[in-house]
Amino acid sequence: MSDDNYGLPAVSLGPVSMPLLGFGTWQISDDDVTAAVGTALETGYRHLDTATGYGNEAGIGRALAAAGLAREDVFVTTKLPPDHGGRERQTIEESLTKLGLDHVDLWLVHWPPGGEAAPEVWQEVVRAQQDGLVTSVGVSNYSLAQIDEITAAVGVAPAVNQIKWGPLLYDVAEVDGLRERGVVLEGYSPLKATDLDDPVLGGIAAEHGVTPAQVVIAWHVAHGFVVIPKSSRPERIIANAEAVRVPLTVEQVEAVDGLARG
């Protein structure tokens, strides 16, 4: 196991801290994910992101078991498919069995069910939290209005909203809206949502002796956004982690902000 530990920096979700760097596993098959997650954990990642819909929870469970890390040292997220309303408890119990865990740190509603806020689904997600199956609860791909609707209906705000995010998608109104509601912004597909050939990124990368992809990840961390880059290639898994420690200046962060297409 590497001496590096990327559990920090982190953001508090109340009962648990969520590392700003996570390892994304979307589109990594169950057969391949065990090795990829094993490499990530060896590298020092301490935050894993999966979903029922990814079909790879069992493979991640095998990697967790093989790593032998203390449960409290790894933050694990999974997600409820939007069409599993009415099967919330069954779904999280199946996820826990596959992952080999007695709880996950964060459970998200993966998309608004049927495009709607679905407070009845959110109520069941909160109930799973109250029963100790999950530590924190949140949503993914929800609008601010939908977050307000489920919060008003159930009395519990989501801890996190996981959305597609990157410099091109940077939106101050979204950032401020989530912050005002006490909701952590977590970005997925950070590299796919970016033009890595942009000369602004290239110039900043050259100044630090890193790649444009590493600048994008460092930009997320500089803002306090959670970021979950995905790769199954060991060299990229390592490079993505090292990006957390790239010290962007205020001026460089603002230059990346300026790439937003609004």
CA-wise closest residue to 241 among 2, 6, 3, 1: 6
One DSSP character per residue, 28-96 reads --HHHHHHHHHHHHHHT--EEE--GGGT-HHHHHHHHHHHT--GGG-EEEEEE-TT-TT-HHHHHHHHH
**How long is the chain?**
262
Strand-pairing partners, residue 108, are 79, 138
Give the residue carrying structure tokens 């119990």: 93
Query: Do the bridges between strand 184-188 and strand 160-164 make them parallel or antiparallel, or are there none, so unpaired?
Result: parallel
Asked if residues 163 and 140 have their Cβ atoms less than 8 Å apart, the reply is: yes
Q: What 3-state class would DSSP assign to 229?
A: coil
Residue type for position 75: F
**Dist CA 241 CA 256 (whole Å):** 19
Residue 36 tokens, joined: 């990829």
| 102 backbone dihedrals φ, ψ, rounded to 5° | -95, -10
Catalytic residue among 6, 54, 142, 170: 54
Q: Mark whether 54 is an active-site residue.
A: yes
Strand-pairing partners, residue 79, are 108
Catalytic annotation, residues: 54
